[in-house]
Structure 1
Amino acid sequence: MNELDQKINTHFPGLVVRKDLVKTVKGNAIVPSYVLEYLLGQYCATCDEPTIQTGIETVKEILRKHYVHRNEAGLVRSNIKEKGRYKVIDKISVALNDKADVYEAEFSNLGIKKVLVDSGTVKAHPKLLVSGVWCIADVEYEFTEDKNASPWILSSLKPIQLSHFDFDGYVEARRQFTTDEWIDLLIQSIGFNPEMFGKRSKLTQLIRLIPFCERNFNLIELGPKGTGKSHIYSEFSPHGILISGGEVTVPKLFVNNSTGKIGLVGYWDCVAFDEFAGKQKRVDKALVDIMKNYMANKTFSRGIETLGAEASVVFVGNTQHTLPYMLKHSDLFSELPDKFYDSAFLDRIHFYIPGWEVDIIRGEMFSNGYGFVVDYLAEILRSLRNYDYSDRYKDHFTLSSDISARDRDGINKTFSGLMKVLFPDGGASKEEIEDLLRLAIEGRKRVKDQLMRIDSTYGKVSFSYLCADGKIKLISTLEEEEYPNYYHKTISEGNDGKSGSPVVPSEALKDSGPSLKEKHLTFQENQKGISFDTLFGPYLKGATQITVIDPYIRLFYQMRNFMEFLETVVKHKALDEEVFVNLVTTEDEFKGEQQKENLEKMKESAGSVGVNVTWKFDGTGTIHARHILTDHGWKISLDRGLDIFQHYEMNDTFIFTNRLQQFRPCKAFEVTFIKADKIENQQILKK
């Protein structure tokens, strides 16, 4: 275990589990993760390895004996008959038989129906009446000659979810973690390795949790396939339900007027619509109208009666086009069915997760560290629905008066949700509060900016906030910074400086021109369109000697960065010229020999194309600043050195993030181009 895993086990004993165990026990059982983690939480919520191994075997045995596979349902029914009584794990739904005035259960995998259920069980677990609940149940068999009676008897039923938890203990334990540690704990709880994500990407993942802890939160996420958009809503919590967008009807979602039966929004904390995008999908106009009213007012009508509900609604769907294509030719909602492509409906969305920023899920992204048993976290999030943290920024910041009530509501609900997830104890610093507020504003701005494209009646809004010192800070979306020519109807002149450091649009890198200037550039996390060619190439052209000072050219991916830098040097030198590149770095403490071998390989390869590479290890241990020097007078100062890209699949030759840098999301970094003294640079280069 690493230091964080040890800390997690210390402060949450018995409430955390090693996340790789779910795959170990799942086998071919088609069962949600929270069901497996419920069982793992009973037997494996420890850091003691022998206990974990024993627990795994116990859980596997329970699944083997009691989980009902559809293709083995006949065998299980036989076991119940022969033994008289048998325990099963299955998804159970209940319906009222009004002719017989009894409640009857249906077992999804076991394939038995009309199993009598007493009223007390239904009152204790009303979700049984809507779409079903995963349960551990004892089923008995008693044959009767009455053709109308079922031989199956439900003797006991226990929904798979936590029975109790200590909220105050949770809040107190949170205080023992730094903000970064807490974020990493939550990311591991979702099942991901936090080392594979930047800060912005981690927060994007955690925004998906807000519908579970914030009442009536309206969220949309559209992006490429394979980014895990629907995973949390189907696997994470017993209080959320994922349904196909094509299967939604008014009676199923809201109320059946003929029976008076309340729909999904009355029973679930979060109702998510999968596969929501698709221009050709048929949609009931009445559903859209009721949905609009519910998303705005938390109410829906049943005949003459108006009912309220607290369920948050989430819409997830796949986009067919790239981000710049959508911005140039349409808008970010263009993939939605026509009847949902309605400005009044879209205006009720509180936050738009930029799905194109979320990386496609790869095997290396999953965690083998410790995280909360998801059922425990699901209960904590559910209890947080009773709190309101939306005013926690108002001591430090004030939203612009230009922001409408509906925009303000979206910002406040997102901010409240993020505070609940990250700071349930309220212990956030002013800087941390500002970061969350900026993210909340950005997500609502993304919605409003697209509405202005769709409907000309929407006026321009200044999404900004006022600091206590009177400074106004403007908010822009990342795609606005990347593609200003497409994002705005007129070519953007860039940032006016009011929101701190201006972020360079990726498109601007292509327009370096013949006269190079001193400049300072800032890049946001997840920004794309950046490459060594566009960033460094023009400043390396014409140089005959280049020195790279970077103490972190040690690990394989850092070596690859340096190799790609050499490729840029090759592309920008004349074929009949040679360039000398000198690397100053530090020796890897554990894999120094491998490091030397890789550097020698690069030296040999580069020499064959006219680039003479030399390298040396700094023995003083004093180099920290990372920069590039050229003999024709440029110093390029890099706060991250060449390590500007996030993790990507380096072993897959057939993906473009591997082949072309401009398709990789970058880390947040800054670079400064300084016109240095030519003679001074040459003296440094000689050393």
Structure 2
Amino acid sequence: MEFGNDINLEIDQKLIEHFEGRIVRKDLTKKIKEGANVPVYVLEFLLGQYCTSDNDEIIEKGVEYVKRILADNFVRPDEAQKVLSILRERGSYTVIDKVTVRLNIKQDQYQAEFSNLGIKGIPLNAYYASEYDRLLCGGIWCIVQLDYEYNEEEKVINPINIRKLTPIQMPHIDLDEIKKGRKAFTKEEWMNVLLRSTGMEADKFTERQKWLLLTRMLPLVENNFNCCELGPRSTGKSHLYKEISPNSVLVSGGQTTVANLFYNMGTKQVGLVGLWDCVAFDEVAGINFKDKDGIQIMKDYMASGSFSRGKEEKAASASMVFVGNINQDVQTLLKTSSLFDPFPDVMANDTAFLDRIHAYIPGWDIPKYRPDFFTNDYGFITDYLSEFMREMRKENFGDALDKYFKLGSNLNQRDTIAVRKMVSAFVKLLYPNGIYTKEDVAEIIEVALEMRRRVKEQLKKLGGMEFYDVNFSYIDNDTFEEHFVSVPETGGGKLIPEGMNNPGTIYTVSRGKNGMIGVYGLETQMLPGNGKLERTGLGTSREAKEASDTAMNYLRANSRSISGAISTTNKDYIINYRDYNGLGMTINLALPTLIAICSVALGKPVVSSLAVLGEISIGGILTKVEDLANTLQVCLDSGAKKVLLPITSAADLGSVPSELMGSFSIIFYTTPEEAVFKALGVE
């Protein structure tokens, strides 16, 4: 939709009426940002002061004034000495720089440090430290009038003094102003305002994509909220944390230390989690702690919001965000590994760490950014938006769902905490005045349950029955109706497809070389020959080759008891074995190989959606399935609807949840021959 249409004009008029001085036209930001290397929130603060008008002439004059301010006063690091020289020559000069203040206890004096100007130890009036306390907490951007007066007699005294300091970033915010102004907007309009304020043109996104973009904002509005987003490149995963909010820090490159992130034992200073509202890790694949206990301390912090260093336990409220790229199709990733696969191995296989992630944003559902995705309309000054989110961290709406709903029985304590945090955060963003309806809350719960279930689904793949309960739901307090929430990407692309396969195509589920349970496929061809068995895909596994030999030797001895049409003397068989989950080839291949050869020899496919379980010895003795419950869970996740199971495993069915049992038709067999008959659907 073009700038100036009726809907956007209506939102613009409401913003000008209720938030004058707090908004900026985002196309102005884009124009100046291209030529000025200043953070967006600094630029928009200045634009908000001089360009909040619908009069083009006033806006044009304001833009020129902002450009002049930046050209004359913004300190570039490489020009620091030039600015200091001008200050010395003129005796006074006004600069725009990031200022951090520390209390020098020995001198009982507040002292300022200028980031780009590269000077520190500049005395500061105590008034500024108390009035703008964020100067003491990581620093804020300011316009500062400096004086220079060198005293020959008192050379030890710093010649530079601060005459006046004016914060560019909002030093504080009136939440009542936001809450009152929110009443003028519908939910859809307010959602558009929030997205516009981050630079996005809301009209270019679907309703679902808008919710996903809003989910990125949750770590900025909720304390100790952990989320990850993996997806294709160029979808703006780290943009919000780097450019839009001055309250978040983006850790690029991945390499970090416990001292930097949590607590420095030498200096006794709290790290990034104590200084910022949100710590975001860019490119998760490269995350690497120099300290051996780094991941353990991170897990402790993600679970409790505190961590132990030395004799002390420290608390902090920073949220953790993990963003990274997925380099392959999501359906392929779901088939072959887990959605956490891009994480470093030390994290990707640690279910305790992954379970502490409250939400997984599906980055693949957000389109790659194009120039027309960025808005030209009015939105909040990003610093105003950031301070609004920062102040809302002090409030809690986690109980918003209790009035209308309760969560289903499949959610454990961690799941419940995660969902409540998301509900609270969404309400803070969309309904900061606490005015919302039952339908509003239901809409939020749907999104929250999906984001947490995505984490749980992957934990189930990695950790098995410990994370079996994934059927998330919420129950209406009035009607007692239960609503189940699914995860879109798990709906299709099953490894074990529906319908009939070609003769000789078999799927089996068993433990792989690395100890995890996965899906293995066999594809078989029959050619004229002299009874040889050729195999591909087994790699160097001696045990797997022996298992396939066992099948062929059993068939040579017992083929007549199955069918006289099966030849082991004038036909050759070629089998390709596939390890779908990349777990290392299983050694439980004798029974699947036997069924595969019989299927192709008789020209008869196995019954549809069948998973073959169990193993046989060369003498035909059945081996029961190890870890039956987890094996059946993998069968279900892989699309199997029928399971061929040895009678020796019947006694273990008591360990399988009834809900899981009810998902299959279980077909028992008592001999290898019976397994072949039932697999081929022969009574």
TM-score of the aligned structures, taking structure 2 as reference length: 0.67
Q: Which residue number in structure 1 is paired with residue 85 of structure 2? A: 78
In structure 2, which of residues 260, 280, 291 is the aligned counterpart of residue 284 of structure 1?
291
Q: Which residue number in structure 2 is paired with residue 30 of structure 1? A: 37
Amino acid at match of 1:203: W
Cα distance in 1, alignment partners of residues 332 and 104 from structure 2: 54
Matched, 1:466 2:475: yes
SS in 2 for 1:157: strand
Cα distance in 2, alignment partners of residues 197 and 50 from structure 1: 32
Cα distance in 2, alignment partners of residues 286 and 155 from structure 1: 47
Q: Which residue number in structure 2 is paired with residue 422 of structure 1? A: 430
Cα distance in 2, alignment partners of residues 263 and 282 from structure 1: 14
In structure 2, which of residues 486, 489, 500 is the aligned counterpart of residue 476 of structure 1?
486
Cα distance in 1, alignment partners of residues 492 and 129 from structure 2: 54
1:472, CA displacement in angstroms?
A: 2.0
Q: Which residue number in structure 1 is paired with residue 345 of structure 2? A: 338
Cα distance in 2, alignment partners of residues 94 and 252 from structure 1: 19
Q: Is the 8 A contact 1:347 1:447 kept in 2?
A: yes
Cα distance in 2, alignment partners of residues 441 and 12 from structure 1: 34
Instruction: Report the more deviating stretch, 244-253 or 327-336.
Output: 244-253
Gaps of 5+ in 1: 494-687
SS in 1 for 2:211: helix
Q: Is the 8 A contact 2:134 2:171 kept in 1?
A: no
In structure 1, which of residues 381, 385, 394 is the aligned counterpart of residue 402 of structure 2?
394
Q: Which residue number in structure 2 is paired with residue 367 of structure 1? A: 375
SS in 2 for 1:418: helix
1:427, CA displacement in angstroms?
A: 2.9
Amino acid at match of 1:292: K
Q: Which residue number in structure 2 is paired with residue 379 of structure 1? A: 387
Cα distance in 2, alignment partners of residues 222 and 395 from structure 1: 34
1:238, CA displacement in angstroms?
A: 2.5
In structure 1, which of residues 158, 167, 186 is the aligned counterpart of residue 166 of structure 2?
158
Amino acid at match of 2:122: V
Cα distance in 1, alignment partners of residues 81 and 158 from structure 2: 17
**Residues 1:258 and 1:74: Cα distance change in structure 2 (over 3 Å):** closer
RMSD of equivalent CA atoms: 2.6
Amino acid at match of 2:150: F
Q: Which residue number in structure 2 is paired with residue 497 of structure 1? A: none
Cα distance in 2, alignment partners of residues 347 and 452 from structure 1: 10
Q: Is the 8 A contact 2:26 2:379 kept in 1?
A: yes
Q: Which residue number in structure 1 is paired with residue 317 of structure 2? A: 310
Cα distance in 2, alignment partners of residues 138 and 201 from structure 1: 45
1:201, CA displacement in angstroms?
A: 0.6
Matched, 1:190 2:174: no
Q: Which residue number in structure 2 is paired with residue 262 of structure 1? A: 270
The C-alpha deviation readout for 1:208-246, integer Å capped at 9, x for no partner, is 221222111111111122111111112222222222253
Matched, 1:235 2:246: no
Q: Is the 8 A contact 1:282 1:337 kept in 2?
A: no
1:292, CA displacement in angstroms?
A: 1.0
SS in 1 for 2:464: coil
Q: Which residue number in structure 1 is paired with residue 11 of structure 2? A: 4
Cα distance in 2, alignment partners of residues 211 and 242 from structure 1: 13
1:268, CA displacement in angstroms?
A: 1.9
Q: Is the 8 A contact 1:244 1:276 kept in 2?
A: no
1:113, CA displacement in angstroms?
A: 4.2
Q: Is the 8 A contact 1:241 1:271 kept in 2?
A: yes
1:121, CA displacement in angstroms?
A: 4.7
1:440, CA displacement in angstroms?
A: 0.1
**Residues 1:156 and 1:287: Cα distance change in structure 2 (over 3 Å):** farther
**Residues 1:136 and 1:491: Cα distance change in structure 2 (over 3 Å):** farther
Cα distance in 2, alignment partners of residues 104 and 52 from structure 1: 38
Q: Which residue number in structure 1 is paired with residue 453 of structure 2? A: 445
**Residues 1:161 and 1:131: Cα distance change in structure 2 (over 3 Å):** closer
Q: Is the 8 A contact 1:137 1:156 kept in 2?
A: yes
Cα distance in 1, alignment partners of residues 239 and 408 from structure 2: 36
Amino acid at match of 2:403: D
The C-alpha deviation readout for 1:518-554, integer Å capped at 9, x for no partner, is xxxxxxxxxxxxxxxxxxxxxxxxxxxxxxxxxxxxx
1:347, CA displacement in angstroms?
A: 0.8
Cα distance in 2, alignment partners of residues 492 and 171 from structure 1: 53
Matched, 1:353 2:335: no
The C-alpha deviation readout for 1:430-464, integer Å capped at 9, x for no partner, is 22221110100000001111111222352311211
Amino acid at match of 2:62: G
Q: Is the 8 A contact 2:199 2:375 kept in 1?
A: yes
Instruction: Report the more deviating stretch, 311-320 or 431-440.
Output: 311-320
1:97, CA displacement in angstroms?
A: 6.9
SS in 1 for 2:286: coil
Cα distance in 1, alignment partners of residues 291 and 129 from structure 2: 32
Cα distance in 2, alignment partners of residues 482 and 115 from structure 1: 63
Q: Which residue number in structure 1 is paired with residue 583 of structure 2? A: none
Q: Which residue number in structure 2 is paired with residue 327 of structure 1? A: 334
Matched, 1:248 2:256: yes
The C-alpha deviation readout for 1:53-72, integer Å capped at 9, x for no partner, is 12111111110110112333
Q: Which residue number in structure 2 is paired with residue 518 of structure 1? A: none
In structure 2, which of residues 75, 96, 99 is the aligned counterpart of residue 92 of structure 1?
99
In structure 2, which of residues 211, 214, 230 is the aligned counterpart of residue 222 of structure 1?
230
TM-score of the aligned structures, taking structure 1 as reference length: 0.67
Amino acid at match of 1:470: F
Q: Is the 8 A contact 1:241 1:272 kept in 2?
A: yes
Q: Is the 8 A contact 1:130 1:263 kept in 2?
A: no
Pairing 1:5-84 to 2, within 5 Å after superposition:
5-84=12-91
Cα distance in 2, alignment partners of residues 100 and 320 from structure 1: 55
**Residues 1:151 and 1:417: Cα distance change in structure 2 (over 3 Å):** same
1:301, CA displacement in angstroms?
A: 1.9
1:102, CA displacement in angstroms?
A: 6.2
1:167, CA displacement in angstroms?
A: 2.0
Cα distance in 2, alignment partners of residues 150 and 76 from structure 1: 17
Q: Which residue number in structure 2 is paired with residue 112 of structure 1? A: 119
Q: Is the 8 A contact 1:134 1:160 kept in 2?
A: yes
Matched, 1:271 2:279: yes
**Residues 1:186 and 1:452: Cα distance change in structure 2 (over 3 Å):** same
SS in 1 for 2:142: strand
Q: Which residue number in structure 1 is paired with residue 586 of structure 2? A: none
Q: Is the 8 A contact 1:140 1:155 kept in 2?
A: yes
The C-alpha deviation readout for 1:192-221, integer Å capped at 9, x for no partner, is 111110111111111122122211111111
**Residues 1:267 and 1:131: Cα distance change in structure 2 (over 3 Å):** closer
Cα distance in 2, alignment partners of residues 304 and 235 from structure 1: 37
**Residues 1:156 and 1:263: Cα distance change in structure 2 (over 3 Å):** farther
Q: How many residues align?
A: 488
Q: Which residue number in structure 2 is paired with residue 173 of structure 1? A: 181
Q: Which has the larger radius of gyration?
A: 2
Cα distance in 1, alignment partners of residues 118 and 395 from structure 2: 42
**Residues 1:183 and 1:328: Cα distance change in structure 2 (over 3 Å):** same
1:329, CA displacement in angstroms?
A: 1.6
The C-alpha deviation readout for 1:408-427, integer Å capped at 9, x for no partner, is 00011011111111112233
Cα distance in 1, alignment partners of residues 118 and 24 from structure 2: 32
**Residues 1:114 and 1:164: Cα distance change in structure 2 (over 3 Å):** closer
Cα distance in 2, alignment partners of residues 117 and 336 from structure 1: 45
**Residues 1:338 and 1:143: Cα distance change in structure 2 (over 3 Å):** farther
Pairing 1:115-134 to 2, within 5 Å after superposition:
115-117=122-124, 121-122=128-129, 128=135, 132-134=139-141
Amino acid at match of 1:466: I
1:165, CA displacement in angstroms?
A: 3.5
**Residues 1:218 and 1:371: Cα distance change in structure 2 (over 3 Å):** same
